[in-house]
């Protein structure tokens, strides 16, 4: 079988989608050496292990949904593909089965966070996927339910293949060089809470900053808040800048931007807890990576976060700043809770596996080809 995988998201700001592609394109060729894999991207970074059954093909199309819709039917015919796997967008005029991974449908479930034209474009793309894809893959039961509900898709067409933390993420004590990098960013040699993700309205950074202010009013320890991630300009301002400027403790809030994986692992490992109060997550990859580093999570009760974190973290009600502040306070003041949650975090992370995700995806391929 000749399998085409559209992989342009390996260069995108959507870190979860990028990580998903990097891992399945690394693992699936090793699990299925009898199949040939064609990876389509512009400027693929060759991050995956080179294998005899992998061909990296420069994509003839830039990041434009119309080009993807129309163009990849031609590519499939040119390369004599048996099956085509894409992210979010399906191709028109394609005579072979299509598998589409859809990580979330926030444009339908949370339309208030999307510019009008972008929301309509995503909605149209998803409706085309619903009508044409032989099968869909998604990354949580929450996302599966949302896909089926908003786009009237039968549940048997959607397979849940959970994401995971890569083996790279494990408990790591920062060495001298990493500690200097952290200090250069303004992170002191003391306790801090960590947020990781795109800086976008759906992440609820305004709520996090407000809760952090309430938390600091209650504790004497100068705990920092470290925010890792880039601004996503597509979605506009969410009020978090105003909340930051108004916060009495803004000098203890550190915005790092994106960081390298080695530093991210050190930050996960060194944090008191990862705090992810999102209004919704299709999966919540930072939560599983933090738990793999032995770090507890404080997450909102929305989207897939309760499903991913389970009993290994603290789940708080969204829209209740006091509840989030209380959870942060508990992590600082209760050593017994902290130790128990760290062990539970490691055990929870071990339940998720990229190899299992890849095997489930390969089974989807086989099912649609039968």
Model confidence pLDDT, tens digit, residues 78-100: 999 999 999 888 777 788 999 99
Q: Which domains does the chain have, with CATH numbers?
A: 2-164+353-369 (3.40.50.2000), 176-349 (3.40.50.2000)
- pLDDT tens digits along 328-347: 999 998 877 778 888 999 99
d(CA 363, CA 355): 12
State the DSSP H helix or E strand holding residue 130, giving kind and residue range, or none if neither: helix 116-132
- pLDDT tens digits along 194-238: 999 989 999 999 999 999 999 999 998 999 999 999 887 666 667
d(CA 318, CA 181): 33
Q: What is the mean pLDDT of residues 166-173?
A: 93
Assigned token pair, 370: 């039968």
Length of the chain: 370
What letter does residue 311 receive in the DSSP assignment?
A: G
**Is the pLDDT at 61 greater than 70, yes or no?**
no
Assigned token pair, 193: 């809470």
The pLDDT value recorded for residue 43 is 56
The answer to whether 139 and 20 are in contact (CB under 8 A) is yes
**Is the pLDDT at 45 greater than 60, yes or no?**
no
β-strands 224-228, 253-257 pairing: parallel
**Is the pLDDT at 161 greater than 70, yes or no?**
yes
Report residue 65 CA to chain centroid gap. Answer: 21
Assigned token pair, 164: 């995971």
**Is the pLDDT at 51 greater than 90, yes or no?**
no
Strand partners, 336: none
In terms of Cβ atoms closer than 10 Å to its own Cβ (0-12, 13-18, 19+), residue 53 is middle
The answer to whether 245 and 213 are in contact (CB under 8 A) is no
Half-sphere exposure of 275 (CA within 13 A, CB side): 31
β-strands 253-257, 158-160 pairing: unpaired
Q: Would you say the C-alpha torsion 328, 330, 332, 337 has a positive or negative sign?
A: negative
d(CA 130, CA 100): 9
d(CA 352, CA 370): 28
Q: Output the furthest CA–CA distance in the chain (Å, rounded).
A: 66
Does the global pTM surpass 0.85? Answer: yes
Assigned token pair, 13: 């700001």
**Is the pLDDT at 8 greater than 80, yes or no?**
no
DSSP strands (E only) in the chain: 2-6, 36-41, 54-58, 83-87, 98-101, 135-138, 158-160, 192-196, 224-228, 253-257, 273-276, 297-300, 314-316
101: left (phi over 0), alpha (psi -120 to 50) or beta: beta
**Is the pLDDT at 70 greater than 70, yes or no?**
no
């Amino acid at each position: 079988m000749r399998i085409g995988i559209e992989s342009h998201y390996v260069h995108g700001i959507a870190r979860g989608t990028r990580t998903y592609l990097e891992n399945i394109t690394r693992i699936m060729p090793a699990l299925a050496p009898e199949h040939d894999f064609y990876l389509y991207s512009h400027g693929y970074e060759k991050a995956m292990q080179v294998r005899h059954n992998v061909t990296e093909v420069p994509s003839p199309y830039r990041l434009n949904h119309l080009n993807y819709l129309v163009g990849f039917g031609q590519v499939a015919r040119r390369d004599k593909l048996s099956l085509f796997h894409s992210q979010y967008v399906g191709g028109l005029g394609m005579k072979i089965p299509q598998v589409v991974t859809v990580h979330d449908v926030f444009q339908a479930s949370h339309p208030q966070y999307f510019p009008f034209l972008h929301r309509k474009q995503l909605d149209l793309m998803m409706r085309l996927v619903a009508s044409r894809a032989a099968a869909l893959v998604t990354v949580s039961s929450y996302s599966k339910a949302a896909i089926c509900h908003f786009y009237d898709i039968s549940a048997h067409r959607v397979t849940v293949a959970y994401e995971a933390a890569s083996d790279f993420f494990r408990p790591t004590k920062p060495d001298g060089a990493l500690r200097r990098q952290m200090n250069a960013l303004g992170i002191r040699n003391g306790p801090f809470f960590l947020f990781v993700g795109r800086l976008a309205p759906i992440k609820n950074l305004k709520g996090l900053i407000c809760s952090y202010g309430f938390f600091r009013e209650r504790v004497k320890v100068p705990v920092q808040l470290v925010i890792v991630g880039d601004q996503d300009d597509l979605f506009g301002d969410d009020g978090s800048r105003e909340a930051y400027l108004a916060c009495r403790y803004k000098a203890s809030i550190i915005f790092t931007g994106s960081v390298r994986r080695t530093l991210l692992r050190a930050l996960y490992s060194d944090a008191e807890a990862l705090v992810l109060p999102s209004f919704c997550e299709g999966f919540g990859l930072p939560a599983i990576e933090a738990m793999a580093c032995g770090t507890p999570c404080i997450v909102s009760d929305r989207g897939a976060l309760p499903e991913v974190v389970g009993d290994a973290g603290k789940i708080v009600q969204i829209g209740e700043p006091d509840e989030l502040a209380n959870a942060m306070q508990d992590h600082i003041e209760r050593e017994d809770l902290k130790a128990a949650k760290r062990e539970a975090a490691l055990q929870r992370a071990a339940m998720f596996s990229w190899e299992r995700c890849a095997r489930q995806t390969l089974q989807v391929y086989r099912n649609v080809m039968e």
